[in-house]
A and B are shown apart, each in its own frame.
Chain A
Amino acid sequence: MCTVCGCSDLVTADGKVMTHDEAHRLGLSHHHTPAFQPFAPAPPFPPVQAIGHDHHHYGQGPARVSVPGLSQDRLIEVETSILAKNDAIAMGNRRVLTARGVLTLNLVSSPGSGKTTLLCKTIKALGDAPLAVIEGDQQTSADADRIRATGARALQINTGKGCHLDAQMVGHAIDQLRPRPNSYLFIENVGNLVCPAGFDLGEDAKVAILSVTEGEDKPLKYPDMFTAARLAILTKLDLAPHCDADLAAYEANLRRVNPGIAILRLSTRTGEGMGDWITWLQTRLAEKSA
C-alpha cells in the first residue's frame, strides 16, 4: 500500500504499469484508475433548487439572495484548527483525568531511547502507588507484556500504519483502564520525535526521553518535540563515558529550543538519577491532587 495516500492500486506512469509507491519513488506523474475510491463516498446532498410552477423563484440558491451578475457562491469563515476534533477529545480526556486526580504523562522519544525500561524501573520504584500504562506501538504487544510482567496494569494500542497516538485512541484506553483516583497514568507514545508533538492526548505534560547515545544535536534537529516537553530525561547515563557524550552540550541544546525545560540525568542500569525522577513524579501528583 502506498504510505503517502493509502492507495493500493496499480497505476500507469511513463507508459508502464507499476504500484503507486513505485510511481512516487520514481517521481512519475500518474493517475488513479477511475474506480479508485479510498474512502466511502459521502451521502448525496438534498437538491437546493426549488420546483417551478406558475411563478418565478429567486434567491433559492445556497446564498438565499439573488444578485444579477453574481453566482450563488459564498464565503464561509471557518477559522477552525485542522486538529480541532483531536483537541476537543483531548480536552475531554483532560477533564475526566483531572476529575479523578490522575497525573498523566505522555512519554515521547525516538525508538530505542529506553522508554519501556525506564517505565519498568519507575513502576518498581513507585512501589504501591496506583498506576496504569498505555503503550503505543505500530505492532506487537511486547511493551505492554513487559509492563504487565511488573504487575502493573497496561493496555497496548497498535497504531498500524499510524505514526502517533491520538486523543481518541487514548480516550478509549482510559475508558477501559479506568485509572484509579490520585494515581499515575503513563502513556508511552510511538517512538517518533516528529508527529506525537502535534497531537494533544489530554496529558498534564510531555516528558521527552533522550539517550546519551543519540547525539548532542538531536534537540536542534527535532525541535518540535523538545519545545513541547516540560521535562527532558537524559538516559543511559552509564554509557556517556563510552561514547564521548558531552552532557553539557545536550543540556545547552535542550535549553536553546526550550529555555523553560526541566532536565534530569538518569541511568536505569546504575539507578543514578532515579531518586530525582521519582521525586519529580511525586511532586507533580501532589500538585494534581491538591
Chain B
Amino acid sequence: MHEVSLAEGIRQIVQDQAHAHGFARVKVLRLEIGRFAGVEKPALEFAFDVVMRGSPAEGARLEMIDLPGRAMCYDCMTTVEIAERFDPCPRCGGGKLIPNGGDEMRIKDMEVA
C-alpha cells in the first residue's frame, strides 16, 4: 500500500527517539510486520532507503520480523494461527473467523550509536 507514508512515519519516530535519547546514528532498525498488515516488504525497503536520507537512520540496516496472522474462531471459540484472512479454522474447519492479530506494523527496537 502506501510504503512511502509508512517510511515517513518511521522517520518521524526515529527523529523523536534521537531527541529523547541523544543518539546520532541508527545502525539497525527492527520492524515487526504482521501477516495481514498489507505491507509490501520490498517496497518498504526501497522507501526506507530513500526517506531516511538526511535522518539519523540514513544507511541503517532494516530488518523485518514477520508476525503470524491470528484469528478467533467463533465455531470452536479458540484463537488460531491462519495464513490468509478467510482461511478455515485449522482446528475445527469452521469458517467464522475474526482476525485479531497480524495487522501489526511497529518499530520493535533500534541499535544506535
Residue ranges of A at the interface with B (Cβ–Cβ < 8 Å): 4-7, 32, 36-42, 45, 48, 62, 71-86, 162-164, 166, 194-195, 197-198, 220, 223-224, 227, 256-260
- How many pairs of A and B residues are in contact by the CB < 8 Å rule? 136
A77 to B106, CA, bound (A): 11
CB proximity of B67 to chain A, nearest CB, Å? 13
Quick check: B9 and A83 within 8 Å, CB to CB? yes
Quick check: B9 and A82 within 8 Å, CB to CB? yes
A84 to B9, CA, bound (A): 8
Chain B residues whose CB sits within 8 angstroms of the CB of A195 once the complex forms: 1-2
CB proximity of B6 to chain A, nearest CB, Å? 5
CB-CB under 8 A for A39 and B13, given A48-B24, A78-B107, A198-B1: no
CB-CB under 8 A for A224 and B38, given A42-B55, A78-B110, A256-B86: yes
User: Does B4 reach chain A (CB closer than 8 Å)?
Assistant: yes
Chain B residues whose CB sits within 8 angstroms of the CB of A227 once the complex forms: 85, 99
B33-44 vs A, Cβ < 8 Å mask (1 yes, 0 no): 000111000010
Of chain B, the residue at the smallest CB distance from A74 is B112
Within 1-40 of B, Cβ neighbours of A (below 8 Å) are at 1-2, 4-6, 9-13, 15, 17-18, 21-24, 27, 31, 36-38
Within 66-94 of B, Cβ neighbours of A (below 8 Å) are at 74, 85-86
Chain B residues whose CB sits within 8 angstroms of the CB of A260 once the complex forms: 98
A71 to B18, CA, bound (A): 18
A38 to B99, CA, bound (A): 38
Of chain A, the residue at the smallest CB distance from B15 is A42
A260 to B74, CA, bound (A): 11
Task: Other than A45-B18, A79-B108, give 11 A-B pairs with Cβ distance below 8 A.
Answer: A6-B4, A7-B50, A42-B55, A42-B56, A45-B56, A74-B111, A78-B108, A83-B6, A83-B105, A164-B2, A224-B38
